[in-house]
Amino acid sequence: MTSDPYQLFPGKHFISTVLEALETKTAMSGELARRYLQRAAMAGIIIGLLYVAHYGVVAAFDTVVVGGSSLRELGRLAGALTFGWALVFIYYSKSELLTSNMMVVSIGAYYRRTSWAKALRLLGLCFLGNFLGGLLIAALVRFSTLTDGATFTEMQASVDHKLEFITAGAGGWGDLFVRAVLCNFAINLAMLLIYNGLIKDDLTKSLVMIIAVFIFAFLGLEHSVANTVLFTVVGLQDGIHLGLAGANVAIALLGNFIGGGLLIGLYYAYANDDARYLRKRSTHS
C-alpha cells in the first residue's frame, strides 16, 4: 500500500481550495463587511432576475397549444434550464450565495480554520445580502409590468404550493425538509466538482452548475434563498402570510445546511482528513 496520503486522499485539492476561499470570505465578512454584503446582494439580484425569467418561460410555453394540449411540460424543462444559469452567473461574478457557503464554513469548522461563531456571522451576512438583492429585484418588478398576467399567476401558484408544505402539518414539513436537503446536496455536489481541480474548462464547469440547478428547479426541490426572493417578489405585489413564509424558509435553511454543510462539506472534510489517518498510523507503528 502506498504511504503517500495525497494518493490515499484524492480530494485534498478540493479541501485546500475551499479553505483558501474561506480565508477570503472570513476576512471580507469581518473587515470588509459592506463589500461582502454587496457581493451577497449581487447573488440575490441574479437569483431574482433568473427566477422571474424561469416563471416567464413556463408561462409562455403554457399559452402554446398543440393538438389540444399546452406545451407546459416542455416549458418546465426550458424554465429549469433558464434558471440553471443563475449559479453560473453567481460563480463567475464572484458573488456570495448562502447555500454554497454552508459547505465552505462546515469544512473550515472541521479543520478548525474558523469558529462556528465566525461561520454563523458569515452565513448571516450572506443571507442578509442575498435578501437585500432579492428585495431590490422585487421592488423593481413591483413598479413594472414584467410579471403581469400569466407570469405572476405562475409565481402565485408556486408560492401557494410552498406555503402548503407548512399548512399540511408534519407530513408537509417532512416533505419540505427532504426537498431542501436534496436541493443543496445537488448544488454543492456541483461546487465539489468545480473546486476539485479535475475540470479544467469553463464550458464543462458551466454545464455542471446548470444541471445541478436544473435538477432542483425541475424536481421542485426547496432552496432557502430562492424561496426568500420569490416570497419577497410576490409579497410586495399581492401580500403574503409572513408566518407561513418564515416557517418555510426556516425549514429550508435547516435542510439546505444538512444537504450542503453535512452531506457534502463534513462528509468530504472527514474523508480527506490525512492528519487523522497519519496520527492513527503513528500510534500503531
Which pLDDT belongs to residue 278?
56
Q: Supply 155's cell numbers.
A: 409565481
Which pLDDT belongs to residue 127?
98
pLDDT in tens, the chain (285 residues): 455 656 677 788 899 999 999 999 998 887 789 999 999 999 999 999 999 999 999 999 999 989 888 999 999 999 999 999 999 999 999 999 999 999 999 999 999 999 999 999 999 999 999 999 999 999 999 999 999 999 999 999 999 999 999 999 999 999 999 999 999 999 999 999 999 989 999 999 999 999 999 999 999 999 999 999 999 999 999 999 999 999 999 999 999 999 999 999 999 999 998 776 656 655 655
Domains of the chain plus CATH, in order, are 7-277 (1.20.1080.10)
| Structural contact between residues 172 and 165, judged by C-beta atoms closer than 8 angstroms | yes
Please report, for residues 6, 72, 149, 281, the alpha-carbon distance to residue 284 in angstroms, rounded to integers and kept in the order given. Answer: 20, 63, 70, 5
| Structural contact between residues 243 and 153, judged by C-beta atoms closer than 8 angstroms | no
Q: Which of 132, 113, 125, 136 is closest to 49 using CA atoms?
A: 136
For 227, phi and psi rounded to 5 degrees?
-65, -45
**Sole residue written with cell 469581518:** 30
**Sole residue written with cell 408566518:** 243
- What distance in Å separates the CA atoms of residue 258 and residue 262, rounded to the nearest whole number? 5
Which pLDDT belongs to residue 4?
60
